Structure 1
């Protein structure tokens, strides 16, 4: 069979000798196929590169949106935590007033505080609660002691009672206040349900009022902790102790040594974590600490 050729004539210039180059036809077919393959390859690579750029752009956009949403979530979470702390504080004040001074809890006020969805409503609730507390602390309230009878008593009468935790369990400066503060371990905002009283390791801790020991053991976060029930819904807690001198079920009297200052549990140094709870709601112990030592009265002091 006779082969088919394409003949290519090449000359150096217009007057030069022509040179004849035979090209088999199947070479031309191979070249055309190769050109088509190359064209499709380049087109596919260009398309892939374009799609990759679009995906990178979309990824960067989604990442920016994620960071924005994360920031908004953090702000909302912080705002929610602050509101929960404020509500807990307000509920504490309301419960404190109602139980401690014989005033009926303002259910409408507490419900309004929980449902307050604006700073204006929350401020109104706060002002109403403070007005309620101030009126109770400056006047005479009707107190139902033990829920068995009611009679008129003043604030002075109440703080003279043996079961009122009005004495300092240890003497020393307050290094950790009640309420919102920065966590000493992670720096985040946290609600502190008591006060921290700085003292030396091994310092005796005294019962600020008569009561019954309901807990004397290791408690998560508190370390070695004692809980005293003083009756009428009043409970005190003593945390981070180094040791106990009492056991559960024991009755203690005001001024009695119940334990020793330590640094057990979640703490950075020796001190006493002291709590006062009214119907299991933490209240600020500093409001009731009026005398330095329970032993002043026990041993005939002032």
Structure 2
């Protein structure tokens, strides 16, 4: 059988000569088959690439949604935690006010069984009402006396004369953390504020007092060092237990001057100003906690270190005359 060819004529540009190029027919079939296979291969690869892009886009979308849901959950969890702290603080404040008014000692008790007694005369009932009225006004007088003593800084005086042993025992006012831990400017107060790192609303459980790096930090009342260690949020942190359920916390220190278990006195150096932990500058984060519930430290801060040193050099009440 004679071979069949395709003839391709190629002309030269210089002299116009035409050259014949014979191509066997089976070569042409191979070329066409290869082209078809290549086209299918390229089409398949393009389809696979498109599907991969689609899956990648869908994966990125799902991941973004998951991240958004996670952030929403963390934010809701943070808000719930803040609300719990606020509710606990309100409960602590209510208990404190009740103690100051003398109401904690006069709470209604469970109903007692009725016991038959002699009839009570109208005069006895009137005397009982008068006694209750006197107790009520006496409680008011005790509250106002306590408030005036607190405002003037004389917290240690007056409890014995006014018979507020329950309130003084609960609050531990004789050993109240009324000393400023360091002299400086309050840069962040107690309560709701904007978080300096993420810009979101957050509950600040204490106050921030700025001072020069390395300035000494003082214990605000007598007590025992419960913790002196490195933590995630407050960096180098000291926790002092003052008794009566009162604790103070000092954070972001550059170094410690005490160790766990040490007994410290009011005004004693316990550490030094720093910026360890989540801090934007040298300062001390100071907290007061009653029954592990954060309360506003401003309610107790009365005396600066200069006033404390001056008062310690004289035989006078170290708690009087303080201010901020």
Aligned-partner Cα distance in 1 for 2:228–2:304: 24
Match of 1:226 in 2: 238
1:152 aligned onto 2:164: yes
Say if 2:219 is the partner of 1:213.
no
Structure 1's 140 and 206: CA in aligned 2 closer, same or farther, altered over 3 A? closer
2:192 counterpart SS class:
strand
User: Residue 176 of structure 2: which of 137, 161, 164 is its match?
Assistant: 164
Distance in structure 1 (CA, Å) of the matches to 2:242 and 2:86: 27
Q: How far does residue 86 in structure 1 lie from its aligned partner after superposition? A: 4.1
Give, in angstroms, the shift of residue 180 of structure 1: 0.9
Asked if structure 2 preserves the Cα contact closer than 8 Å seen for 1:159 and 1:166, the reply is no
Residue aligning to 1:52:
none
Gaps of 5+ in 1: 1-65, 108-133, 142-149
| Correspondence 1:185 to 2:191 | no
2:93 matched to which residue of 1? 93
Match of residue 269, structure 1, among 239, 257, 281:
281
Cα distance change of structure 1 residues 79 and 246 upon mapping to structure 2, 3 Å threshold: closer
The alignment of Structure 1 onto Structure 2 pairs a total of residues equal to 199
The residue aligned with 2:257 is 245
Q: Find the counterpart in structure 2 of residue 287 from structure 1.
A: 299
1:184 positional shift? 0.6
List gaps (5 residues or longer) in structure 2: 1-64, 108-139, 148-161
Task: Pick the structure with more strand per residue.
Answer: 1
Contact 1:223 1:239 in 2 (8 A): yes
Structure 1 residue aligned with 2:144: 138
Alpha-carbon distance, 1:155 to partner: 9.0
Per-residue CA deviations over 1:218-277 (Å, capped at 9, x if unaligned) read 122010000111111110000000111111111011111111010000110000100000
